[in-house]
Amino acid sequence: MAISPLRPEDSGGRSRRAHAVSSSADVSDLAREVSGLMTREKFATEVMRTAIVTGRWRPGLRLAQDVIAEQLGISRMPVRSGLRQLESEGLVEFHPYRGAAVRLLSSREIAEIYELRIMLESRLLEAAVIHLSAERVDELTTVALNIRLHSEGDDRWVDERNIFYDDLYRLADLPRISRLVASLRREVGPYLALRPRTPHHTHIGVLEHLATGDVVSAKSVLRAHLLRVSGELQGLVERLAES
């Protein structure tokens, strides 16, 4: 189903609802995947968070709570609670009279997120290299090579990339910084799926330098990559805002 951004010009209860319904991308398949022993609110939150960070729901998309509830097979209450949780995470925003929408970041916010990521992830690399054994290098190399097997931005590529950095940063033993980095990555998740796909070998480059103990070069590779992505996403959100 086509995804369209938030349109401020919509008016009239029935026309607004029609637009919201037409612009809510179906997440029924995610609902089937995200199953198990959890409350309905946690279930709804997890499905909706996944839809946002993977780009299934694009920035600016209006979120019709009744449509989402129907797709998930639950009532509107846990959907609304889940949306409020995602609002606290910076992924959703509520507009007067128009309800919830996937939050559209500004170019300045994107720049700030990546400035923070460069500082925090550089610190994680410094701490991780101390505990990077030959065995760990081999394990991370396997993951980095798996990343190349998938198209950049698709679900498997995102999963493998997250595994790579989660495993690497876990060696740093700085859980608070790691959680902050994970939160910042989630915020820009919806935009990564929309940016131009450009092949890169950042993961291997960072790992090769760390394996030789050259953390300065590893940080330089990471910084150059994050600055490039930041510039791409700043241009992207400016175009989204104009549309």
Give pLDDT, residue 219: 96
Residues 50-73, mean pLDDT to the nearest whole number: 90
pLDDT, residue 152, reads 64
Q: Domains of the chain (ranges plus CATH)?
A: 13-102 (1.10.10.10), 107-242 (1.20.120.530)
Lowest mean pLDDT among 58-62, 216-220, 230-234: 58-62
**pTM for the predicted model, two decimal places:** 0.74
Q: Is the pLDDT of residue 218 over 90?
A: yes
Greater confidence (125 vs 89) lies with: 125
- Summary mean pLDDT of the chain: 84
Give the pLDDT mean for 72-83: 94
Of residues 152 and 172, more confidence is placed in 172
pLDDT, position 231: 94
At residue 122, the pLDDT reads 97
User: For residue 63, is pLDDT > 50?
Assistant: yes
| High-pLDDT (> 90) share of the chain, % | 53
- The three state secondary structure string of the chain is CCCCCCCCCCCCHHHHHHHHHHHCCCCHHHHHHCCCCCCHHHHHHHHHHHHHHCCCCCCCCEECHHHHHHHHCCCHHHHHHHHHHHHHCCCEEEECCCEEEECCCCHHHHHHHHHHHHHHHHHHHHHHHHHCCHHHHHHHHHHHHHHCCCCCCCHHHHHHHHHHHHHHHHCCCCHHHHHHHHHHHHHHHHHHCCCCCCCCCHHHHHHHHHHCCCHHHHHHHHHHHHHHHHHHHHHHHHHHHHC
Instruction: Write down the pLDDT at residue 41.
Output: 92
